[in-house]
Amino acid sequence: MPMVTIKELIAQRKSATKEEKTRVTISTVLVVFGFLLISTVLAILSLLGAGFPLSIFGTANLVLFVIFLVLVVKYKKEQKMIIGYEKVKSVSIKGTVAVVVILLVVIGFDFSFFNFLIKGDPLPKGLFILSMIILFGFLPFIMALWYKTSPAIAVKLIVRLYHVIFKRGKKATTLTLVMDTHQEHSFRVAIVRSMTAMIFTTFTIFTAILPVLNGLKFPTFPELFIKDPAFACASYLLVMVIGTVLSFVLFFWLLPPCFLLDDAGVVFFRQYQARRTPPQIQSISGWFMSIIRGIVGTSALFTYVYFVIDNWSVFGQISGSSGFGLFPATQFAIFIFGFPVIGTILMASIVLLFQESQFTKLKTFLYQELVNIGVDPRVVKIALDRKDAFQDKTLADYPGENFFINPKLTDAVEKFPPPGRVFDETTGSRGDFLDKGKQRKNSPDDQELLSWDHADEDR
């Protein structure tokens, strides 16, 4: 299928109906919600006597709330009119939600340490409040950014880059395929992706931001802590929060597109025609992520370990001080040293839960982008059949030469099941080697397999 030209895309845009052009998107709702969160916090601070003009922020908060309600009502109304949208089954996300709740409890546990440390000091208290506003107030904006850009970047950057590097030629067959994969939410995958995001957050904070601050002669954490412990903790917490949020913004071109490509089952198939090399089936996002993660991950690990070792003396000062004790010192260590882990997993889990709630639409947008570059998005299913033969240039009737002489291959393979289907991707069976109780239950329509053929929707 030829690639869609720019003129054709513009023509598609012009031919869209008025309702399609003016419909409310979830990204618009999220942006308004983000401003509403920030204005709400500022209005609450005004009521508490923080010095902000209550009339301005109160009015802005009321206006944004009305706009938000109108957009939500219109958005839900439009979603009900989408053909087939109501047939999409909800997924179980209990495990990921539990992680979010636990991390919020851990953060709340550490709040008591800062309340004890600040003791009414206005500057550290203000920095602490600003950190929380940035951490949670920017979440809707990050959700909107990831949602809006991930399908297009996944195809226009990652898939196209793969096509450029691995051009089709006479020596190899290279295909971009959409494989038939499980579409349920996975708690383990969510945790792994949160840890992947943590690598890039650690890189942003400890490899990029802190060295820049040190180059600008900004005092180190131990130097600040000796002069003013409350200001030191609050200021470095602000640096951690800004770095965490910034990493989700800076790597919007990498994390959500790669996650979406995996969820949608986009892989590449490559087989050489004249080389003694086995065929390859690999995730395109895994290929792209491995290039970036190898460089970023190593740097992030070394700089983070260096930061902990360089600042561990502060933990000893707190635990040995009569005014603190071991319990507040533990809270300090968890929040200062562990915030890149806790904060990133918390933010990533929340954003991934949102992505999961919009997965059917994101996957649809991704497939539409694949069509624009000439890739067929219809699902491909695998059938592996074992033949009653060996590879060319194999001595099937030649006995082995070990101390215990191995039998001929033609005799040895008789203990295996007869040739036939080895792996059934639809049912999950592996011949006679899989416990029948572990096989997936599928409808009769799903039993038909296509060997590297695209599934016809009319079947």
| pTM, two decimal places | 0.76
Confidence of residue 224 (pLDDT cuts 50, 70, 90): confident
What is the share, in percent, of the chain residues with pLDDT greater than 90? 9
Q: What element of type H or E holds 189?
A: helix 187-202
The model's confidence at residue 266, banded by pLDDT at 50, 70 and 90, is: very high
135-173 tens-digit pLDDT: 888 888 998 999 999 999 999 999 999 888 887 666 777
3-state helix, strand, coil in the chain (%, to 5): 65, 5, 30
For the chain, what is the mean pLDDT? 76
Contact 80, 319 (CB under 8 A): no
When mean pLDDT is compared across 51-60, 235-244, 377-386, the lowest value belongs to: 51-60
Residue type, 286: G
Contact 119, 230 (CB under 8 A): yes
Sign of the alpha-carbon torsion through 299, 304, 307, 308: negative
Q: Report pLDDT for 25.
A: 81
Give the model's confidence band at 435: pLDDT under 50 very low, under 70 low, under 90 confident, else very high.
Answer: very low
Q: Residues 284-343: pLDDT tens digits?
A: 988 888 888 888 888 888 888 888 888 777 766 665 554 555 556 666 677 777 777 888
Tell me the per-residue pLDDT of 20-73, one tens digit each, with 9 for 90 and over: 555 778 888 888 888 888 888 777 766 665 566 767 777 888 888 899 888 888
User: Which range has the worst mean pLDDT, 96-100, 123-127, 233-237, 292-296?
Assistant: 96-100
Residues 337-355: what's their mean pLDDT? 82
Tokens at 270, concatenated: 């490559």
Whether pLDDT at 421 is above 90: no
Rounded Cα–Cα distance for residues 361 and 158 (Å): 20
Residue 345: pLDDT over 50:
yes
pLDDT of residue 86: 47
The rounded distance, in Å, linking the Cα atoms of 105 and 107 is 5
Which residue, 106, 122, 347, is CA-closest to 234? 122
**Residue 261 scores a pLDDT above 90:** yes
Question: What are the angstrom distances between the C-alpha of 376 and each of 175, 437, 455?
Answer: 10, 35, 11
Q: Which residues pair with 270 in a beta bridge?
A: 174, 280
Question: Residue 273: phi, psi to the nearest 5?
Answer: -85, -35
Q: Which of 363, 183, 147 is nearest to 255 (CA)?
A: 147
Q: Are strands 280-283 and 266-272 parallel, antiparallel or unpaired?
A: antiparallel
Evaluate if residue 441 carries a pLDDT over 70.
no
pLDDT value of residue 5:
61
**Is residue 431 pLDDT above 50, yes or no?**
no
Instruction: Give residues with Cβ within 8 angstroms of 355, minimum separation 6.
Output: 143, 146, 147, 150, 256, 259, 260, 362
pLDDT at 370: 92
d(CA 293, CA 313): 31
Asked whether the predicted pLDDT for residue 406 surpasses 70, the reply is yes
Q: Indicate whether 195 pLDDT > 90.
A: no
pLDDT at 3: 60
421-424/172-179 β-pairing: unpaired
| Pairwise pLDDT comparison (14 vs 418), residue with the higher score | 418
pLDDT band at 248; cut points 50, 70, 90: very high
Which pLDDT score, from 0 to 100, does residue 454 have? Answer: 45
pLDDT score of 223: 79
Query: Is residue 279 within 8 Å of 260, Cβ to Cβ?
Result: no
What digits encode the pLDDT tens for the residues 73-95? 888 877 776 655 544 444 455 66
Please give the Cα distance from 47 to 56 (Å, whole number).
12
| Helix, coil or strand: residue 413 | helix
Cβ burial of 68 (10 Å; 0-12, 13-18, 19+) is middle
First to last CA, the chain: 22
User: What's the pLDDT score for residue 459?
Assistant: 33
* pLDDT value at 277 more than 70: yes
